[in-house]
Amino acid sequence: MTDLLNTTVLITGAGGGFGRHMVGQFRSAGAKLIVTDVSDEMLDGAINEAGDDLVASVVADLGTEQGCSAVVDACSSRNVVPDILVNNAGIGVAGRLDHVPGDAWEKLMQINLLAPMRLCNSFMPGMIERGSGHIVNISSLAGWIGTRGMSSYCASKFGLRGFGESLAADLEGSGVHVTNVYPCFSRTPILDSPRYGYNEQREVPGYLISDPADVVARMIKGVRRNKLHVFPDKYARRMHYITRFVPWLVPVLDRRMQAESIDAAKEAKN
């Protein structure tokens, strides 16, 4: 079990949809917070949510090495090695790979995959030396299922899933735990990510969209229990079951979802 009381939790992307809920729920569990996001505007809400339990706030672009270094330096200057590192920052882009500008999917890979690797590389030695720590990676159901129009996003989330699984094996017996989280679509700003090509005419059907507060609550429950894999919403759990036991059904459901996304886009315009 991971006890959250009096822990220091570093949350990337703390001003976003999941991030704000993470700040509030970790604080309610007795944790202190280090928060980071790409701008002062994004961070303001997280800072207010953290209140007196704020240890530090850092404006940093995690799509760059310099941004990741700024977060590490902010912790080092306070002699803090986070008890829990939550790799939550992420962006999305939708469209067939050759329809998406190269700089868009390269930026996505920097933020979604390389930033967690850079931060883990910096903080893991201190966690191992201390004999305790927890790394939380916010992957996605797109880290289990490759779906149309999401090749770059799926690549980043499959990568993050594999990274977390390998870390868990490397860290076995060290006192440092890893939790990977695989939400489906949730009511967060990532739903408004740029879309290219045929994806411009699509919207996510409402029944697939979960409440971010519920997702975060299930994530924290998984962290407390040191679970490696957390599927925090009903659709994610259902699809994981299908990928394991009836994988032939996955492309059938994907085609159905694509058709429903076109219908949802038409309804949104009316």
The token pair at 7 is: 């822990």
> What are the φ and ψ backbone dihedral angles of 138, each rounded to 5 degrees?
-85, 95
198 is catalytic: no
Cα 99 from Cα 197, distance rounded (Å): 6
Looking at residue 191, its pLDDT comes to 46
Task: Give kind and range of the element (H or E) at residue 224.
Answer: helix 212-224
Task: Give kind and range of the element (H or E) at residue 32.
Answer: strand 32-37
Looking at residue 21, its pLDDT comes to 93
* 3-class secondary structure, 159: helix
CB proximity list for 229: less than 8 A, separation 6 or greater: 179, 180, 182
Looking at residue 242, its pLDDT comes to 81
Cα 157 from Cα 242, distance rounded (Å): 19
CA distances to 32, 85, 140, 202 from 137, rounded to whole Å, are: 19, 8, 9, 28
Q: What residue has token string 């500008």?
A: 101
Strand 8-12: give its sheet, edge to edge.
Answer: 54-59, 32-37, 8-12, 84-87, 133-138, 176-181, 229-230
Per residue in 172-191, pLDDT (tens digit) is: 999 999 999 999 865 555 54
Using alpha carbons, select from 264, 26, 249 the residue that is nearest to residue 136.
26
- How many other CB atoms are there within 10 angstroms of residue 8's CB atom? 20
What single-letter amino acid sits at 113?
L
The token pair at 136 is: 């939380």
Q: In the chain, which stretches have pLDDT less than 50?
A: 191, 199, 265
Per residue in 60-95, pLDDT (tens digit) is: 999 999 999 999 999 999 999 999 999 999 988 877
**Which residue among 153, 207, 235, 241 is the active-site one?**
153
What single-letter amino acid sits at 225?
R
Question: Whole-prediction pTM value?
Answer: 0.88
What single-letter amino acid sits at 41?
E
The token pair at 176 is: 């440092």
Q: Judging by DSSP bridges, how do beta strands 32-37 and 176-181 pair with one another?
A: unpaired
CB proximity list for 31: less than 8 A, separation 6 or greater: 4, 5, 6, 7, 8, 9, 53, 83, 84
What single-letter amino acid sits at 216?
V
Task: Give kind and range of the element (H or E) at residue 166.
Answer: helix 151-170
CATH number of 8-269: 3.40.50.720
- How many other CB atoms are there within 10 angstroms of residue 256's CB atom? 11
